[in-house]
Amino acid sequence: MRDAGAPVAVVGAGPVGLAAAAHLAERGLDFVVLEAGPRVGAAISEWGHVRLFSPWRYDIDAAARRLLEPTGWTPPDPDALPTGDDLVRDYLAPLAETPRLAGRIRTGTRVTAVARRGLDVTRTAGRGDRPLLVRAAGPDGTVTDLAARAVIDASGTWGHGNPLGHSGLPAPGEDEAAPYLAGPLPDVLGRDRDRFAGRRTLVVGMGHSAANTLLALVELAKAEPGTRIAWAVRGSSVARLYGGGDADGLPARGALGTRLKRAVRDGEIDLVRDFSITRLANGDGDVQVTGATPDGERVIAADTVVAATGFRPDLDMLREVRLDLDPGTEAPAELAPLIDPNLHSCGTVPPHGERVLAHPEPGFYLAGMKSYGRAPTFLMATGYEQVRSIAAALAGDREAADTVRLDLPETGVCSTDLVTEDQIPGAAGGASCCGGGRPGPVPISIG
């Protein structure tokens, strides 16, 4: 038997990681939370200026609420839309300080590998009799190996962005152009204002992260003459991002698409379709972005390129555990058909729990955004139900683990095979999820 006296190791102290801790605490299971950042919700703090689409009613885990209520915590207005900073200040930070969680969260502790103690991934004999091993580097760089009866990897995908180049590969010159590249959700109207004011920005990507940045740039351009905005997408249509408008069950998401559509129509944003980036070259104080288009090669000069191209999971840290991942989405194999962005329409992901998330490595689970691999359709409430089910299974409550439910908003217009007014005549309509890029509002609140 695996070491029953070892704790459950939770990787990541974001919303899903702390929800896992809350459910483990309620079940009376020993646990430790390992967070790479200096504080809980560290990744969210990097996009703290962004407002989520989901109101508070969908953003607070049930077990976490039960831990918070006895402390005198005042719950936020359930219909209000929090920013990332609100989520950390008004929910995650107080949750981490509750008596059941305080002292069990190690910040500044980066997990670098998960393995089976004493065995590499090729060894089978006796595997189930050994605890998992979690290797982590602490704040001072000291490396520690922690024995764990189970591991819930809820470390997310933030910081592991997709490249700008086509075919899933970095474009030639992309590394050298790093000084001109910005992350997916820069604080255009605040911290990063000077980088964009009166300058040329190219936003690449067709998710909600791109939409947030584009609309912030439109606001900046009204106050800062000379601010110019280009938006490059690989496809011929952006109808998916424009979304369902007033029909969207998350009104803030519908409004975002409506505003973006208007800005493009009014010429505030130069939309460049069918643009596949083939190389980047540093110019004289700017970057030259070359792309292939149906009409031949085109070059866009920019002072800054915002890479809002989505995310992929960090799987290198998991090379010594036995995973069963879908080759396309890099999500758990049984989950992948439910979230495949080639087929999935927002809001149609059925509730799923421990059985779907289990891997051939006993006691190891991917949860939260990382469980979705490269699929961009994750909702925070989905992650909460995942870890509730996992905690129940680890506690031996099979019935509770298998009874999964999920209360989600209606999603509005998520897929279409119709040619819309946005599409180029003759272009094929595509069934596609409205989830868009993560994180922003990261992955955390939208599909």
At residue 425, the pLDDT reads 33
Helix, strand, coil percentages for the chain (3-state, nearest 5): 30, 20, 50
- Domain segments of the chain as ranges: 8-159+311-402, 175-307
The answer to whether 161 and 309 have CB atoms below 8 angstroms apart is yes
**pLDDT tens figures, 194-220:** 999 999 999 999 888 899 999 999 999
**Rounded alpha-carbon distances, angstroms, from residue 435 to 101, 339, 348, 391:** 32, 11, 12, 28
State how beta strands 296-302 and 287-293 pair: antiparallel
At residue 340, the pLDDT reads 85
Going by pLDDT thresholds of 50, 70 and 90, the confidence category of residue 3 is low
At residue 244, the pLDDT reads 53
**pLDDT tens figures, 240-292:** 777 655 445 555 566 788 899 999 999 999 999 999 999 999 999 999 999 99
Q: Please give the Cα distance from 242 to 96 (Å, whole number).
A: 37
Q: Which CATH architecture has domain 175-307?
A: 3-Layer(bba) Sandwich (3.50)
**Rounded alpha-carbon distances, angstroms, from residue 381 to 158, 311, 338, 389:** 18, 19, 16, 13
8-159+311-402 in CATH: which number? Answer: 3.50.50.60
**pLDDT tens figures, 318-375:** 999 999 999 999 999 999 999 887 775 445 677 899 999 999 999 999 999 999 999 9
Tokens coding 79: 């219909």
